Amino acid sequence: MRPDLFATRSQLCQGATTAPAELERCIEAAQAPANTHSFVRPMFDSARTTAVQPGLSDLPLAGLAVSVKDLFDIAGQATPAGSTALADAPPATEDCPAVARLRAAGATIIGRTNMVEFAFSGVGVNPHFGTPAAWDARFGALPGAAHSPSAPRVPGGSSSGAGVSVATGAAFIGLGSDTGGSIRIPAALNGIVGFKNTARLVPTTGAVPLSTTLDTACAMTRSVRDAIVAHEILAARRVTRSPAPLSQYRLAVPSAVFLDGMDATVARAFERTLDTLRQTGATIDTIDLPAVREQPAYGFAAPESYAWHRDLLQRAGDRYDPRVRTRIEKGATLMAWEYIDLLQARQEWIARMHAQMERFDALLSPTVPIVAPPLADVAPGEERDAEFFRVNNLLLRNTSVVNLLDGCALSLPCHVQGELPVGLMVWHGALRDDTVLNASLQIEQILQKQ
**Catalytic annotation, pick one of 69, 83, 121, 160:** 69
Spatial separation of the C-alpha atoms in residues 308 and 119, rounded to whole Å: 13
> How many Cβ atoms sit within 10 Å of the Cβ of residue 48?
15
pLDDT(146) > 50: no
What are 218's strand-pairing partners?
Answer: 176
**What per-residue confidence (pLDDT) applies to 144?**
58
pLDDT(143) > 90: no
pLDDT(74) > 90: yes
- For residue 299, what is the DSSP state? -
- The full DSSP string for 156-217 is -SSSHHHHHHHHTTS-SEEEEE-SSSTTHHHHHHHTSEEEE--GGGS--TTB--S-TTT--E
Element (DSSP H or E) covering residue 353: helix 336-357
**Catalytic annotation, pick one of 83, 182, 223, 411:** 182
38 by DSSP, 3-state: which?
A: coil
Residues sharing a CB contact under 8 Å with residue 425, sequence separation 6 or more, in sequence order: 184, 188, 364, 365, 366, 367, 398, 399, 402, 409, 410, 411
pLDDT(130) > 90: yes
In angstroms, how far is CA 178 from the centroid of its own chain?
6
**What per-residue confidence (pLDDT) applies to 151?**
85
Q: Tell me the average pLDDT across 196-222.
A: 98
Q: Tell me the average pLDDT across 140-160.
A: 77
Element (DSSP H or E) covering residue 356: helix 336-357
- For residue 247, what is the DSSP state? G
Catalytic annotation present for 182:
yes
Pairing of strands 108-113, 283-287: unpaired
Average pLDDT for the chain: 96
Spatial separation of the C-alpha atoms in residues 37 and 29, rounded to whole Å: 13
Give the pLDDT band of residue 279 (cuts 50, 70, 90): very high
Domains and CATH numbers, the chain: 5-249+363-447 (3.90.1300.10)
Q: Tell me the average pLDDT across 68-90.
A: 97
For 15-73, the pLDDT digits (tens) are 999 999 999 999 999 999 999 999 999 999 999 999 999 999 999 999 999 999 999 99
387: left (phi over 0), alpha (psi -120 to 50) or beta: alpha
pLDDT(295) > 50: yes
**What per-residue confidence (pLDDT) applies to 302?**
97
For 157-193, the pLDDT digits (tens) are 999 999 999 999 999 999 999 999 999 999 999 999 9
408 by DSSP, 3-state: which?
A: strand
Spatial separation of the C-alpha atoms in residues 168 and 162, rounded to whole Å: 10
HSE (CB half, 13 Å, CA atoms) of 64? Answer: 30
Give the pLDDT band of residue 87 (cuts 50, 70, 90): confident
Would you mind telling me the total number of residues written for the chain in this entry? 450
Give the pLDDT band of residue 122 (cuts 50, 70, 90): very high
Give the pLDDT band of residue 297 (cuts 50, 70, 90): confident
Spatial separation of the C-alpha atoms in residues 302 and 172, rounded to whole Å: 33
Q: Tell me the average pLDDT across 419-443.
A: 98
**What per-residue confidence (pLDDT) applies to 1?**
80
Q: Buried (b) or exposed (e) across 113-146, using 16+ Cβ within 10 A?
A: bbbbbbbbbbbbbbbbbebbbbbbbbbebbeebb
Are residues 329 and 313 in contact, defined by beta-carbon separation less than 8 angstroms?
yes
Which segments within 11-168 are labelled E, that is strand?
Answer: 39-42, 65-69, 108-113
**Catalytic annotation, pick one of 38, 83, 121, 158:** 158
Q: What is the percent of the chain where pLDDT is above 90?
A: 96
Spatial separation of the C-alpha atoms in residues 439 and 413, rounded to whole Å: 14
